[in-house]
Structure 1
């Protein structure tokens, strides 16, 4: 399975055409998933401490992003009270040098992180899967064109392009930022899916589907994608975390939306106000810890899922 560096857009261990996709519980190629198989996967997932730990961390952050804003009367950019106050019963995470509630900024920043991760990662996932499946299955000149396009985008410094585009477009919303990230983060996913498709398209069940008169879209949707479902799920998790890291990087550089708040923008504001030098740890620690928890939790989940889907790695 291709191991990737989240957010870099570079595959560091791309799967080869000879590599086969791991199918859960030794499912025969082309055999539809049954309730028994799904129950077995769930059983091993709940027994895998890495998956459970990662999922618990990510879901806890998501719950705080959804419920947290309801627990404060302040808005993220509101000047609420005294400046540079450490955490207290009134201000749980303290206040900034501008008298803003750090807790309010943190919980709203979590929302922005999940939005950018889900939307940016989702766009990259759809593009990567669609291009990878099409190139790998169709082959010929279509594969040559799509592979050339993928290689061109792959060698372009992603972060540098994002910085230029974000600065030129003057990003005004996190949805726009996520779309930009998604449109530049798909190449490694496309190459990984293409490699796996090369292996799967020679299987007998694909030949039977082709002889039965199914078109390319139907074969990809009903034969190839289901047998690569575990791989696609893990790929989405990596893209999700990568989009969050890229978004935080852009915000830290001051190229994200300035009319709202995010974890990256919180760190940018803390840096500009010399919070680290002045010892205002409650200002820069929460956003940094939030990014680490979400992305780290996603990575641990991904490692756990690899063990769940691969019978050789399962912890009995």
Structure 2
């Protein structure tokens, strides 16, 4: 892994932004929406990312927004991964009527216009926070994971080591999580990274159109505020460039990490 430049490079970018999101708020104050300086101030020593038209510190909003971005990405991705894996394992191993029912539910959720559903749900919630946002995104991001895990489980359940565990009287739970799941560990980890990046993009989309958290700040909400208060027309590039680059860098680094992991786990893709 350490010899794969894509994996290491992507990981370094993600860790840098993660550390900035965890440590940065300690140096910028607890309230990222506080009015702390002169309005529309360009980047300077006192304000590295400048200030908004209301005198809010853009750097303070950026580091707080990073924390919200990682929170939503991690927990939404984790929730989607857990649901998708459980449905996929049960459906693929059990087969029969259980497989048909779970496959039907998966297909129903899969064909739903996810963005439209998220828009409707978010619009009708009077109070929205990053926890609710992560829950909503996670509940609608798992179907493709379930289908992929189901396909691989159906392949592995006919292997000799699974038959041996079944003949030894091991319960289904033990067979799935002790025999089948470990053989898919690398794939499941890559799936989580993809879900992480997808959740970050979903959250940024909802935030940008004004359906993000109502009691905090995020990178997407920074873009929304910049557009709403005409930062582009006023030439205040420092208001919208940092959050835009932050979202792009995090999602891009996650997908590059995924490519690197694919090369690590798949010998056919390794560079000679």
Q: TM-score, normalized by length of structure 1?
A: 0.85
Counterparts of 2:243 and 2:160, CA distance in 1: 51
1:208 lines up with 2:182 in the alignment: no
| Alignment check: 8 A CA contact 2:91 2:150 kept | yes
1:27 counterpart residue number: none
Q: TM-score, normalized by length of structure 2?
A: 0.98
1:18 counterpart residue number: none
1:65 lines up with 2:56 in the alignment: no
2:105 counterpart residue number: 149
2:122 counterpart residue number: 166
Structure 2 counterparts to residues 1-316 of structure 1, below 5 A = 45-73=1-29, 75-316=31-272
Counterparts of 2:85 and 2:215, CA distance in 1: 34
Shift of 1:314: 2.0
Give a deviation string over 1:264-296, Cα, whole Å, max 9, x none.
Answer: 000000000111122111000011111011110
Q: CA RMSD in A?
A: 1.0
Counterparts of 1:147 and 1:170, CA distance in 2: 34
Give a deviation string over 1:214-272, Cα, whole Å, max 9, x none.
Answer: 11111110011000000000000000111111011111111111221000000000000
Shift of 1:74: 6.5
Partner of 2:232, secondary structure, is helix
Shift of the 171–158 alpha-carbon distance from structure 1 to 2, 3 Å rule, reads farther
The runs of 5 or more residues in structure 1 that have no matched partner are 1-44
Counterparts of 1:138 and 1:66, CA distance in 2: 43
Give a deviation string over 1:67-105, Cα, whole Å, max 9, x none.
Answer: 111222462100111111110000110000111000000
| Alignment check: 8 A CA contact 1:74 1:101 kept | no
| Alignment check: 8 A CA contact 1:171 1:177 kept | no
Counterparts of 2:27 and 2:43, CA distance in 1: 16
| Alignment check: 8 A CA contact 2:133 2:203 kept | yes
Counterparts of 1:222 and 1:158, CA distance in 2: 34
The runs of 5 or more residues in structure 2 that have no matched partner are none
Counterparts of 1:315 and 1:225, CA distance in 2: 28
